[in-house]
Amino acid sequence: MSVAVIPFRPVDPKTRLSRLLSQVERETFARAMLADVIGAVRSAGLEPLLLSTCAYDCPGVEVRVEPCGLSDALNNLLPLFEEPVLIIMADLPLVTPDAIRRLTGTTADVAIAPGRGGGTNALYIREPARFHVDYYQCSVQKHLGIARDAGLSVECVDSFRLYLDLDEEEDLVDLLIHGTGRARACLEELGVGLAITRGRVGIERQPPLHGTGTIVRPGGTTGAAGH
């Protein structure tokens, strides 16, 4: 079974959402997105491997702690795989098993799912030992070049479900419209919803439902906790 490596930052993630969500709420939301990604990965027939920046308990999922930068952590890991490997970010709350299967089903040696601004949201690598990653600063172009320099065929896969990496407040609009998983439920429990003003769709925040926020535990179950 192919492995899906999911980089994850458990502590103080998504700082660009700090105006809207507290650190505790952002950590809760990040766990909800992670749960959605893990569920999609498993349903697509891959085994998740969490690559965490610090110690993290995720029942039923192998966790490897790598406190170094994202590229270094992944490049330390890739040569250890003999089978094809998927690298998929933990902040893709709209991802579906079909979107993952579309990526892993290409005939190319390397398949890339771009994100906005030239980022790389997912990579499927058939021969991991022949490839290395270089994230940030228009990483899609760098990954295309790395594949070509290594003599590997490469394909960019256009997928809405793999395109939305959630970083900014305006990204929450698409999640609230199109999401069906734990991440959307988490936002709604926190009182975050859609607001339409002068024909434009934005977000607004009301008091959390029942005065609580949704806590998504590492195994993917949900519960309530005060903040």
Residue 110: what pLDDT?
98
**What is the CATH topology of the domain spanning 3-163?**
Spore Coat Polysaccharide Biosynthesis Protein SpsA; Chain A (3.90.550)
Compute the distance between CA of residue 126 and CA of residue 140 in angstroms, rounded to an integer. 17
Nearest to 53 by CA among 37, 74, 35: 74
Compute the distance between CA of residue 14 and CA of residue 167 in angstroms, rounded to an integer. 6
Give pLDDT tens digits for 142-169.
Answer: 999 999 999 999 999 999 999 999 999 9
Residue 1: what pLDDT?
77
| Low pLDDT (below 50) residues in the chain | 211-227
| Residues forming CATH 3.90.550.10 domain(s) in the chain | 3-163
Helix%, strand%, coil% for the chain, nearest 5: 35, 25, 40
In contact, 3 and 44? CB cutoff 8 Å: no
